[in-house]
Chain A
């Protein structure tokens, strides 16, 4: 049973870079079974996919965010990370990390508990 846990600052200033990490336990991030990704839930809105990565380095990003998003994987620490640059209030959301079963088209069967990131000066 995989467990995922997000970590990172809960408050980011406008125009700065949001940085989050997700630690995976109960399995290897280098498993071919999973891709790893980020989803966010802005207040009062619906779920929005941000980006996905495979341990091999293959990445996919939401076209609406692509120019501002960087996703990376650290196999030695069983972690993957997200950076969103030039943040605005619109980036305020609960950010979830999740496992994507077999591909970026797969189901998200394990989720972190989520971490609220507020963009404010």
Chain B
């Protein structure tokens, strides 16, 4: 059971919008700690997608966006593309456990 909760799977047709939620508590996201998002394609290392809730590193397409509200954060993918099929993980800091990841969300492009 992960400290940060994500839906196990989501799907969408090409061009659609998909939103992944990451629900925490006052010990982590709600405590003011930053949320980061990673894309994990099988056989490759995780790739930083969004940092500090909403910032995209250089090279990440602007169809990826992040937000945070209260004890939750969200990653939105607009204009879904076949290459976006991957696992997505949120990450934050927790007062008790230190570094925490969400359980991961598998995004399938229909």
Contact = CB atoms under 8 A, between A and B. Distances in A.
Contacts of B96: 63
A108 B36 CA distance: 8
Contacts, number: 67
Nearest to B96: A63
Contacts of B51: 101, 107, 109
A37 B99 CA distance: 10
Given A62-B98, A63-B97, A109-B51, A46 B89 contact: yes
Interface residues of A, number: 25
A47 B46 contact: yes
Chain A interface main SS type: strand
B45 A107 contact: no
Chain B interface main SS type: strand
A49 B98 contact: yes
Question: Which of the listed residues B2, B33, B45, B52 has the most CB atoms from chain A within 10 Å of its own CB?
Answer: B45
A47 B38 CA distance: 10
A107 B97 contact: no
A61 B99 CA distance: 9
Nearest to A110: B48
A112 B45 contact: yes
Contacts of A62: 97-99
